[in-house]
Amino acid sequence: MNPKVNNRIALIGCPMDMGASMRGCRLGPEAIRLAGLKTRLEKIGYQVIDQGDVNTTNAYGHHKDRENLNHLDLVKEANENLYKKVHEVMDLGQFPLILGGDHSIAIGSIKAILDHYEDLGVIWFDAHGDINTTDTSPSGNIHGMPVATLMGHGSSQLIDIGQKDHFLKKEHIVYIGSRDLDFGERKIMRDLGVKVFTMHEVDALGIQEVMKQALDYLRERTEHIHVSFDMDILDPEVAPGTGTKVPGGMAYREAHLCLESVAQSNSLVSCEFVEVNPILDHENKTAETAVALAGSLLGEWLI
């Protein structure tokens, strides 16, 4: 990304964690702000407009729903509000940078971006697949369902969030760093033929080659890329403040190289950083890492 391409960034917080079973990432947007995101982006050369947080309603505890859609009403409300806000800033010609919140917020954000870029490509940095449906999810947590929903699969109650005309094409998403996939997710991914680079490929090929292949794959299909970055893609030693930690994740420098590669593609049109849980963190380390990574994604170079 280059400030000359679009020098106006809109920060949008979605402080909602009802898509997960563990509480705390509702505090993520404020933790990321306190870690200095706005100042860091302004130093790169951007005009940063903090749009504040969309309205969300969070509860305490965890309720298992009989229809395998836990806390549906609260998740739907937050995503509908996020959808409207992302639409609003994009209509104003601003670049949306969304701060989560759990990963279910990608339903609202990406649905809005798809209205502006029907050919949108998505790079999904995540330890998990997030492509479950109500039929396959072992937990019923909606933060494990956004990709399926965005493709038009699963419950109509989720699919009906936001616009209902433009869905994410299966050939327009690339997973990077997957290492914890549910049995049902593996089948869905195989059946759809989704492009996946697991941590096995990262180890075997090296992160530079993985990103080259991923970007070449998307470049053949689209000119516009959204980055959805779940902090649990990182090894827990790098990002302890996230709710679904899985050992064996990406190293700090590997993550920076990934996002620097996306920046150099000049195809980035939007992004989100999700699943920062300050309750589980050490001295706001995970939020500070998110800020540093956002800098790399948006063109912060040493020289």
Active-site residue, selected from the candidate residues 53, 77, 275, 300: 275
Which residues of the chain form beta strands (DSSP E)?
A: 8-14, 47-53, 95-100, 121-125, 173-178, 195-198, 225-230, 268-274
Q: Which of 17, 71, 87, 128 is catalytic?
A: 128
* 143 in catalytic set: yes
Of the CA atoms within 13 Å of residue 284, those in its CB half-sphere come to 15
Task: Give the Cα separation of 39 and 34 in Å (integer).
Answer: 10
Please state, in angstroms and rounded to a whole number, the distance separating the CA atoms of residues 271 and 225. Answer: 9
Q: Is the CA virtual torsion 116, 108, 145, 286 positive or negative?
A: positive
CA 299/CA 154 separation, integer angstroms: 37
How far apart are the C-alpha atoms of 95 and 151, rounded to whole Å? 23
- Name the catalytic one among 53, 102, 230, 281: 230
Residue with tokens 């209509």: 91
126 is catalytic: yes
Q: Is 232 an annotated catalytic residue?
A: yes
Output the CA torsion sign for 111, 116, 120, 122. Answer: negative
Q: Are 237 and 98 in contact (CB under 8 A)?
A: no
Catalytic residue among 77, 201, 232, 254: 232
Told to judge if 235 belongs to the known catalytic residues of this protein, a careful annotator would answer no
| Token duo for residue 228 | 């959805």
Q: Catalytic residue, from 126, 201, 235, 272: name it.
A: 126
Which residues have CB under 8 Å from 120's CB, separation 6+?
110, 113, 114, 168, 172, 222, 224, 225, 226, 269
Instruction: Decide if 260 contacts 275 (C-beta within 8 A).
Output: no
Q: Is residue 73 annotated as part of the catalytic site, yes or no?
A: no
Instruction: Read off φ and ψ for residue 5, nearest 5 degrees.
Output: -75, -50
- The one catalytic residue in 71, 143, 172, 256 is 143
Q: Which residues are catalytic?
A: 103, 126, 128, 130, 143, 230, 232, 275
